[in-house]
Amino acid sequence: ATTLDATQPAPADQREQHELAERLRAAAAALVPGWLGAPLGAQAVDTPLGGPGLPGFVRVGIAQPLDDARFPAVVPLLGTGHLTIDADARDPRVSGLVRAVLLRLLAAAPAGSLLVRAVDAATAGRLFAPFAPLADAGLMPPPATDRAGLRAILTEAEQWVRPARPHSDRGRRHERTLLLVIASLPELTESADLVRIGALAQHGPAAGLHLMIAGWPPPPLTAETTQPPLADSTMIALRNPYALVGDPPGASFGSPGEHLPSTGLNSPVFLDEDPPAQLFQRVCQELAARVNANSRPHLADLLPEGADGLWTADPAEGLVTTVGRDGEIPVTLRFNELTPHWLVSGRPGAGKSAFLVNVIYGLCAHYSPDDLMLYLLDFAEGSSFEEVVPAGHDPSWLPHARVVGMECDREYGLAVLDELDAEVTRRAALAESAGVTRFADLRARHRMPRILCVLDSFRFLLDAEDDADPQARRRLESLARRSRPYGVHLVLVNRAVSDPAPGYGQRDSVYAQFPVRVALPGGGEVLEPTNDAAAGLPMGSAVVNTAGGLGGPRGATRGHERVVQFPDPQVDPGALAALRQRLWQARAADALPPTIFVGYAEQALTEDPGYLAAAAGLSAGPAALVGRVLAPALETAAISFDKSSARHLVVLGPAGADVLDVAARSLAAHLPSGAGRFVVASLAPGTVGPASRLAADLTSERHEVLMVDATGLDRVLDQEEPGYLVLFGLDGLAPTALPTDRLAVLLREWPNRGVHLLAWAERPGRLAGVLGVEPATAQGAIDSGGGGATGPAGDRAAGALVSDLVLLGLPEAELAGLLGRPVVRPRRGRALWHDRRADRTTMIVPFVLPEVLR
Ligand SMILES: Nc1ncnc2c1ncn2[C@@H]1O[C@H](COP(=O)(O)OP(=O)(O)OP(=O)(O)O)[C@@H](O)[C@H]1O
C-alpha cells in the first residue's frame, strides 16, 4: 500500500513497483483462478465451468500503476457485499464490465448455485440478451425493464431476505445465492424503491443476496432521491479512460492511518471489456444444460437417506413412498386403508415403467421383506419388471419379490388373484378370531407382510378376446374390495392406447376401489372427464390424485391433486443395480428367489426343479412330468405313477408327441438306473424317429426297453409283466388291431398288473369314447366288448379309464366334448392338464424337448 501510495510522482525505484505487481499477479492467480480472473478472450472458451464453491472474489479489470506494471484488480462480492459503479450501463465501459463480471461469476459458481435477477431499463433488456439461455433453466429470467418489473424483483429479493423464509425455498442441495444486477434503473424510479434497494443492501449479504448496481448512487434530482452509497459495497468510479476502485466492505486497499485515510486502490484500473459473443454462448448453454440435468429429480431423492434408513419403516399403518417432487416439495403416496389401491395410466412410452420402478425401489428400500411382499405382473410385451430379477452377470433379485411375471397369460394373472384372495380369506379369519378389524392390530398379533400386487397392462387380464370377461372383473373387484383392511394392495397400470378410452369413473364397481389415480402423459382418462389436469403433461411428470381423479375449480389449489416430476431410473442404471445388490445382500439367509414367469419363454424339462431332483435321485416315487402349472408358484405338473395309483396318461393334440416324449423321459429319470421296463411303440407315420431316439436314450440309462411296431405291440398288450407302455400315435392304430372295447378292458386291467399307458394321439377320433368324460359311453364300450365290471353310472372318477389327459391344440368343441364342459382353448405353447380323478383342469406350460432331441 505504501508503495502504491507513492505512485505519484513517479517513484524513484520502479523495480519495487514491478516486484509488487508481480506479487499481486501471483496473489490474484490464487484468489481468482480460471473464469474469475483470467482475461476473457476467445481462449477462455475451453476452460471447464464450475468450481468447488461460491466464488468470493472476482476480477473487475487491470490495475496499471505504471505503464509497464500491471496486475488484476480484484474485489470481493458474493459472500461479502455488493458492487456499485457510479455510471450506469449506458456507458459501454460499464455495460462491458457488468457483463464480464456476471459471466465470470456464473461460469465459476457450481451450476445452479447462483441465481440472477436483472434490471436494464436503458436498453430495454438488450444488455442481458446473451444470458437468455439461462431463463429456461430457471437461473435468470428475462430482465426487468420498467418500474413495475423492478418492483417485482425487489419484492422477490425482499422475500429472499425475509428471515421467515422456509428453508425448502432455497434449494436442497446447495445453499443458493441470489445476485441482483441493476444495469440501469428505470427513469424516475421512485425514492421508495431506492430506499428498498438500500435496505436490501443492508440485510442482503447475511441471507445470500448480493447487488451489483450500475448508476449508484442515482443522480440526485431531488432531495428524496438522493441516496447514500450502498452499505457494504465496493464502489467503482469512472474516470477517463480508467476507473478508480474503492475499498471493499470492511477492508482497505491502503493502510489507513499511516499516511492518509485510505481511498481505495491507489492505481488506475482499466475495466474489463465486453467478453466475446461465443463465450456467452458456450457458458450459458452449458450451464443451462447442467442445471436442467441437475434439477431433474433423482432416484436417490425417493430413497431413505444413508444406509441407516434401509428397511426401518414401519408398515403397520400403511406403506409410504415418495413418488416425485412438486417443485422442491417431495410428494408421497400411500397404500393404506384410505388409499388401498392405485390406478396408473399413460400412453406407450410415457414413463409408466419408470414410475413403477421408482415406487417399487422406494418401497423396497424402506420396508424389509418381512414387511412387504411383491407380486409384479406385466401382461403385455415389455420389460417393466426386468429391473427386479437377475439379468446377465448380475445374479441379484429384489428379496421382496415373490412372483415376477412378464408377458403373463390371463390364467396366470387370475391364478395370482386367486392366491391373493385366499390370503385375504386367511387374514380375515385370523382377524376375526383375534377380534380385530385393523391391519395394524392384526399384524401386532401375527407378523405378516403387506402385499403389493402390480398388474401392468391389466386390461389384458380383463379382456378375453373382444368382450370384457365378467368373471375376471368379478374376481378383481372382489379382491380389491375385500383386501382393503388386510394389507393387500393393488396397482393397476393401463397402457392408454384405446380411443375413446374406457371409463374409469367413480361409479364403476371395479375402479371405485382405486382412489389413487396417477395420470402420466396421455393417461388423463383415469381422472374425471372434467379434470383436465393431465392435458399437455411433459415427459417425466404425472398428475397424482388421491380422490379418484376428482377435479375442482380451475386454478384453485387442490389438496388431493398434485403434478409431480419423477426421475428416470434408467438415467443411472449403475445406481439402480447397486441398490438392488445392496437389498439382495441384506436378504435373510433362507430367502428364496421370486418365481419368475416369462410368458413367451419355453419351459425346459432339464431346468425343472422336479426333474433335477429326480435326476439327482431325490424323487418320492415315479412320476411323469408334463409341464409347469400356470399359477403363481409355477409348480411342476407331475403325474404320479406309484404302485397304488391306477394311472394312465394320454396326450391329445397335434403337437403332443413331444409332451409324451418328455413325460416318458422324466418318468425314467424317477426310476433307479436299470429298474424301469418300457415298451416303446411307433404306431403312426412320422413317429419312428422320436420313438427310437427315446428307446435308445432309455436303453443307455440301462432300463429294459422293447421297441415295437403295431404287430409287436399286439403281443405285449396282454402280458403280465409290469412296466410302461409308451405309444406314439395311438390313433394310427387300425381299429382291427386294437378295437376300442379291447382297449377299454386293457385300460381297466393294466393297473392291476402294474402296467401303465403313456400315449399320444393327434386327435381323439374313435378314442373319444374311451377318453371322454361320459362314463356311460366308456362303460358301454367295456360292457359290450369284454363284459368287464361296471362302475357306478355318473361317477366320473371311478368310471374314468384314463386318469390324466394333456390336451393341446384341439378345437374348442373337441375339448368341450372330452371334458364335458366348455373350456377356453389354450393358446400355442399352452396345454390343459385334466386330472380325471380330481376332476380338475389346469392350464400348463408343457415342457419342450431339449434342443438336441428336436
Ligand atoms: N422421468 C423421466 N424423465 C425423462 N425421461 C423418462 C422419464 N422416465 C422415463 N423416461 C424415458 O422414457 C422412455 C419410456 O419410458 P418407460 O419405458 O418407462 O415408458 P412406459 O410408459 O413404461 O412405456 P411402455 O408403455 O412402452 O411400456 C424411456 O426411454 C425412459 O428412459
User: Is the previous residue joined to 632 through a cis bond, with omega within 30 degrees of 0?
Assistant: no
Residue 213, beta-bridge partner list: 84, 182
Query: Is 643 annotated as ligand-binding?
Result: no
Closest CA to 48 of 36, 37, 34, 30: 34
Residue 677, beta-bridge partner list: 704
Cβ of 352 closer than 6 Å to ligand 1, yes or no, is: yes
Query: Is 352 annotated as ligand-binding?
Result: yes
Say which residue, 360 or 505, is predicted with more confidence: 360
Shortest-distance atom of ligand 1 to CA 350: 21
Shortest-distance atom of ligand 1 to CA 354: 18
Query: Ligand 1: which residue has its CA nearest to atom 25?
Result: 348
pLDDT (tens digit, 9 = 90+) per residue, 673-691?
888 999 999 999 889 999 9
SS3 label, residue 524:
helix
- Assign domain 317-584+591-598 to its CATH superfamily: P-loop containing nucleotide triphosphate hydrolases (3.40.50.300)
Q: What is the pLDDT of residue 43?
A: 63
- DSSP class of residue 112? T
Q: Choose one of 568, 571, 576 to mutate for the ligand 1 pocket test, by most ligand atoms within 8 angstroms of C-beta.
A: 568
Query: Is 392 annotated as ligand-binding?
Result: no
Residue owning grid cell 385334466:
834
Indicate whether 469 pLDDT > 70: no
For residue 338, give the C-alpha cell.
384410505
For residue 306, give the C-alpha cell.
444413508
Give domain limits for the chain.
Answer: 2-295, 317-584+591-598, 603-853
- Cα 456 from Cα 378, distance rounded (Å): 4
Q: What is the pLDDT of residue 225?
A: 67
Query: Is 346 annotated as ligand-binding?
Result: yes
- Cα 176 from Cα 208, distance rounded (Å): 7
Cβ of 346 closer than 6 Å to ligand 1, yes or no, is: yes
Q: What is the DSSP string of 601-645?
A: SPEEGGG-HHHHHHHTT--SS-EEEEEEESSTT--EEEEE--TT-
pLDDT band at 174 (very low <50, low <70, confident <90, very high): very low
Q: Choose one of 539, 544, 563, 571 to mutate for the ligand 1 pocket test, by most ligand atoms within 8 angstroms of C-beta.
A: 539
Q: At what angle do helices 277-295 and 92-108 cross, to 10 degrees?
A: 40
Cβ of 540 closer than 6 Å to ligand 1, yes or no, is: yes
Cβ of 568 closer than 6 Å to ligand 1, yes or no, is: yes
Cβ of 566 closer than 6 Å to ligand 1, yes or no, is: yes
Distance 567 CA to ligand 1 centre (A): 10
For residue 474, give the C-alpha cell.
368379478
Say which residue, 700 or 539, is predicted with more confidence: 700
For residue 319, give the C-alpha cell.
406403506
Indicate whether 165 pLDDT > 50: no
Indicate whether 213 pLDDT > 70: yes
- Cα 425 from Cα 479, distance rounded (Å): 10
Distance 535 CA to ligand 1 centre (A): 18
Q: What is the pLDDT of residue 797?
A: 47
Distance 160 CA to ligand 1 centre (A): 36
Residue 843, beta-bridge partner list: 832
3-state SS of 387-406 is HHCCECCECCCCCCEEEEEE
Closest CA to 102 of 138, 72, 136, 78: 78
Dihedral pair phi/psi, residue 674, rounded to 5°: 85, -5
Q: What is the pLDDT of residue 128?
A: 96
For residue 82, give the C-alpha cell.
455488493
Same fold across 317-584+591-598 and 603-853? yes
Is the separation of the CB atoms in 398 and 583 below 8 Å? yes
Cβ of 567 closer than 6 Å to ligand 1, yes or no, is: yes
For residue 771, give the C-alpha cell.
377318453
Q: What is the pLDDT of residue 168?
A: 42
Distance 344 CA to ligand 1 centre (A): 14
pLDDT (tens digit, 9 = 90+) per residue, 54-100?
999 999 999 998 888 999 999 999 999 999 999 999 999 999 999 99
Cβ of 570 closer than 6 Å to ligand 1, yes or no, is: yes
User: Is the previous residue joined to 9 through a cis bond, with omega within 30 degrees of 0?
Assistant: yes
Handedness of CA 666, 672, 676, 681 (dihedral sign): positive
Is the separation of the CB atoms in 398 and 364 below 8 Å? yes
pLDDT (tens digit, 9 = 90+) per residue, 258-285?
555 667 898 999 999 999 999 999 999 9
Distance 349 CA to ligand 1 centre (A): 5
Query: Ligand 1: which residue has its CA nearest to atom 6?
Result: 568
Interface confidence, given as ipTM, is 0.98
Cβ of 350 closer than 6 Å to ligand 1, yes or no, is: yes
Range of weakest confidence among 149-153, 405-409, 717-721, 774-778: 774-778
Q: What is the pLDDT of residue 513?
A: 93
Cβ of 325 closer than 6 Å to ligand 1, yes or no, is: no
Is the separation of the CB atoms in 626 and 846 below 8 Å? yes
- Cα 200 from Cα 231, distance rounded (Å): 9
Residue 706, beta-bridge partner list: 679
pLDDT band at 540 (very low <50, low <70, confident <90, very high): confident
Q: What is the pLDDT of residue 466?
A: 44
Topology adopted by domain 603-853: Rossmann fold (3.40.50)
Closest CA to 169 of 206, 131, 214, 115: 115
Q: What is the pLDDT of residue 779?
A: 39
Distance 449 CA to ligand 1 centre (A): 30
Query: Is 689 annotated as ligand-binding?
Result: no
Distance 19 CA to ligand 1 centre (A): 62
Distance 155 CA to ligand 1 centre (A): 40
Strands 467-468 and 463-464, bridge-based pairing? antiparallel
Q: Which class is domain 2-295?
A: alpha beta
Query: Ligand 1: which residue has its CA nearest to atom 11?
Result: 351
Indicate whether 384 pLDDT > 60: yes
Distance 329 CA to ligand 1 centre (A): 22
Q: What number is the average pLDDT over the span 827-853?
A: 89
SS3 label, residue 716:
helix
Indicate whether 480 pLDDT > 60: yes
Q: What is the pLDDT of residue 175?
A: 62
Q: What is the pLDDT of residue 443?
A: 95
For residue 850, give the C-alpha cell.
431339449
For residue 664, give the C-alpha cell.
416318458
Q: Choose one of 381, 570, 576 to mutate for the ligand 1 pocket test, by most ligand atoms within 8 angstroms of C-beta.
A: 570
- Report the 10 Å Cβ neighbour count for 769: 20
Closest CA to 656 of 507, 532, 804, 469: 804
Q: What is the pLDDT of residue 450?
A: 98
Distance 839 CA to ligand 1 centre (A): 46
Cβ of 382 closer than 6 Å to ligand 1, yes or no, is: yes
Residue owning grid cell 389327459:
805
Is the separation of the CB atoms in 581 and 396 below 8 Å? yes
Q: Widest CA span of the chain, in angstroms?
A: 141
pLDDT band at 490 (very low <50, low <70, confident <90, very high): very high
Query: Ligand 1: which residue has its CA nearest to atom 15?
Result: 351
Distance 477 CA to ligand 1 centre (A): 29
CA 569 from chain center: how many Å?
A: 6
Closest CA to 771 of 812, 740, 732, 742: 740
616 CB burial (10 A radius; 0-12, 13-18, 19+): exposed
- Cα 576 from Cα 521, distance rounded (Å): 24
Distance 848 CA to ligand 1 centre (A): 35
pLDDT (tens digit, 9 = 90+) per residue, 421-431?
999 999 999 99
- Cα 281 from Cα 134, distance rounded (Å): 10
Indicate whether 453 pLDDT > 90: yes
- Cα 280 from Cα 174, distance rounded (Å): 24
- DSSP class of residue 767? G
Cβ of 676 closer than 6 Å to ligand 1, yes or no, is: no
pLDDT (tens digit, 9 = 90+) per residue, 601-655?
999 999 999 999 999 988 888 999 999 999 999 999 999 987 777 899 999 999 8
CA dihedral 373, 374, 375, 380 (to 10 degrees): 180
- Cα 791 from Cα 33, distance rounded (Å): 100
